Every structure is written in C-alpha cells, then in structure tokens.
Structure 1
Amino acid sequence: MIFDSLKNSALYTSVHPRMKKAFELIASTDWTKVEPGIHELDGRDIYVNVMERELKKRADAKLEVHNEYIDIQVLVSGKEESFGWSERKDLRQPQGEFNKEKDIQLFDDEPQTYYTLRPGQFTILFPEDGHAPMVGEGTVRKIIVKVRI
C-alpha cells in the first residue's frame, strides 16, 4: 500500500511498467467532467471506474483483494474518504470464493488500521493489500484506475 499526494506521483512510475502511463492519464483528465462508469484508457490493461457514491460506516465496509490488477484510487471531490487496510496474508474470514471474472474476494475480518485520503491524494493498493474503501460520511467522487499486473 502506498499513500501520497498526486504532486509526488512521479516517485511511483517505476513500481510497474504501466504506472507512468496511468499517472499521466490521471493528471491529464478533468475527472469532475467524466461520466461515472468504466472507461478504458489502454484497453483492459489500464481502465478507470469513475464513481459518485455515498460513503459507508466502518462496520459496513468489507475488506477486498484483487489478483489481476493494482488499484490507484484518487479522491476527486468530497471532504475525505477513509480506507481500512490489512495484509492479505492475515485475512481469515472470506465471504466466499475468489471471483475471477470480477477479480475480487471479500472478507469479514476487521482491518488492522485505517487511513484517510483527501482531494489531491491517492493510494496504490497491490494484490497483497486487503482494503476496505468508501468509509466515512457524505458523498464523494473518486476514480479507481485499474492497472493490469
């Protein structure tokens, strides 16, 4: 898991070969004007889910993991969004089998810790990161850029 400001995104372009292109696309788009939904940026190798959603209480947010993609989650507007986080290797309470088609598995475990994004910040979540997004109060607009491993 990485948590930082978008102004520092160049520090992370070497993490994966597709990260430079993903961060260039993040920086060159006015995400306040893009319609909610899935938008392919580089086929299915890099795509974005633009979301406007009501945040959840901690008890209602489930930890999730992915196998095929790294998430870059960016808060576009709203006061803040919190995330629960745990190491994947420590998750013990799956809600079911891994869904390969949707690249997700949910868990009922309690997060080890929480952290909070504000507009202009991002978090990078790897397959090793169990994460419970969308925690807080109010409505937010965010993007989740999916980068195929």
Structure 2
Amino acid sequence: MIYTKINQMKRYKGIMDSLDTAIDYLLNSDLTKLQPGRNEVDGDEVFVNCFNYTTIPEETAIWEGHKYYADFHVVLEGEEKIGVTDVTSLTAGEYDEAGDFIPYDGPVDNWMTLRPGDILVVFPEDAHMVKVQLNGASDVKKAVFKVRV
C-alpha cells in the first residue's frame, strides 16, 4: 500500500513498467477531463475508471481485492474514507475472474482519508473497502487507475 500526495508519486517510479506508465499519466494528465467509465491508457496493462457516487455508511460497504491489478484511488471531488487490511487477515469469497474481483469479510485494520490531492495505491495483498462516508454523505468524483502487476 502507498498512501501519499499525488505530487509525491514520482518517487515510486522504477519499480515496474506498468506502474511507471500509470504514474506518468497521473502526473501529466488533467484527470478532471476523464469520461465516466473506462478511459484507455495502455490497453489492459493500465486504464482508468472514472466514477461519480455518494459515499455510504461503513456498515453497508463491502471489501474487495484483486489478483492481477493494483488500484490507484484518486478523489477528484468530495471526500471518502477507505478501509485497508492485508488479505491474509480476512476471509475470501469466490473469485470473479472476468472482473478480477475477490469479495472479503472481516474487520478493518486501517482507515485512509482521501480528498483531492491524495492518492491511495493498493496492491493484490491489500483488500480495500471503498466509498465510505467520512463526515456524512459526500458526492465523490473519483479516478481509479487499474495497473496490471
């Protein structure tokens, strides 16, 4: 997991090519101009999903994880908190190969607050609970980079 400010992401270059591609796009693009849904960067290696939603209470949020992709969570408008726990501390559900999605069950170890300018990068070992209210409901516009690792 990486939790930092967007302008600090250049220090994470050089780990792997797909991360470099995502970091370059992140630092050199106007993410506010992304269209809702999937936005292409480098085919299935790196792409960006753009979402608009209202945050939800913690008790209705669900865990998710991925086998093949890291996620870069970037809030463009609004605020949310995201729970993060190592997958070995949770109970895994059935893997959905088509969506690279694993549901999990269990307690939250860490909460991260995301506002514009923040970034949370979660890897396959990091289950994450997204869209959670911080100080009541918030309308959020968010870009989620999907980076094959």
Give the TM-score normalised by structure 2. 0.92
Query: Which 4+ stretches in 1 moved above 3 angstroms?
Result: none
Please state how far the C-alpha of 1:111 moved relative to its aligned partner. 1.1
Q: Counterpart in 2 of 1:8?
A: 8
Q: Counterpart in 2 of 1:143?
A: 143
Q: Counterpart in 2 of 1:52?
A: 52
Amino acid in structure 1 at the alignment position of 2:87? R
Output one character per residue of 1:88-128: Cα deviation in whole Å (capped at 9) or x when no partner. Answer: 01112x4x311011001112312112110110110110000
Identity among equivalent pairs (%): 31
Please state how far the C-alpha of 1:14 moved relative to its aligned partner. 2.4
CA contact (8 A) 1:64 1:131 kept: yes
CA contact (8 A) 1:64 1:105 kept: yes
Give the TM-score normalised by structure 1. 0.92
Does residue 1:130 correspond to 2:127, yes or no?
A: yes
Matches within 5 A, 1:1-149: 1-78=1-78, 80-92=79-91, 94=92, 96-136=93-133, 137-149=137-149
Output one character per residue of 1:19-38: Cα deviation in whole Å (capped at 9) or x when no partner. Answer: 12111111222222221001
- Could you say what the CA RMSD is over the residues aligned between the two structures, in angstroms? 1.2
Aligned length: 146
Q: Specify every segment of 5 or more residues in structure 2 that has no aligned partner in the other structure, as ranges.
A: none
Q: Specify every segment of 5 or more residues in structure 1 that has no aligned partner in the other structure, as ranges.
A: none
CA contact (8 A) 2:75 2:114 kept: yes
CA contact (8 A) 2:84 2:128 kept: yes
